[in-house]
Amino acid sequence: MIKQLVMATNNANKLREAREILAPLGIEVLSQREAGADCDPEENGTTFAENALIKARAVYEAVKLPTIADDSGLCVDAMDGRPGVYSARYAPEGQHCAKLLEEMKDVPDDRRGAAFECTIAYIDEKGSHTMTGECRGAIGHEQRGTNGFGYDPVFMAGERTMAELSAEEKNVISHRGAALRELYKYLKERFGE
């Protein structure tokens, strides 16, 4: 089994989730800053997989350690899959939920379906591999909850928003959690115990 893995992010929430899910493999997950990678590649891909690979390759080239990167976003059915790959750039920082609720204000409940989607790219000296995860739900009518980040306060996972779930509950159903569990399986199969 590999001993260390670099995650092409400095986002504490993403790192915590990756560390929790990969912990049973005994892999130390480093942020790109901890690994000494000072890069911020332009995410100009048109899919989550393309953007994840862009980030993973850039950090891998900087540190030459096995690297993972994710790209994820919210795909809203009534908005033809938008904001999708542009989720982070959909609105100014801190205004994503308000803008989405405004755009969805006249959409009836039966058309408010949505999915968080995530692709994780893994890269090492032998090449790259991608895995995906999805969490289906719906867009609520108001922001609720204080846990989570991004669109979590408006994304309904059953009767509660993602921001009303504990970290443990969210890891079980989240798109990133699903993709990380696929990564876990891939690493276990590839490197054995």
Q: How many helices (H) and strands (E) does the chain have?
A: 6, 7
Enumerate the active-site residues.
71
The CA-CA-CA angle for residues 93, 94, 98, to 5°, reads 120
Position 1, amino acid = M
Q: Which helix (H) or strand (E) covers residue 169, if one does?
A: helix 167-173
Q: What is the dihedral of CA 193, 130, 3, 167, to 10 degrees?
A: -90
> Dihedral angle at the C-alpha atoms of 57, 61, 65, 67, nearest 10 degrees?
-20
Cβ–Cβ < 8 Å for 113, 134: no
Beta carbons of 160 and 107 less than 8 angstroms apart: no
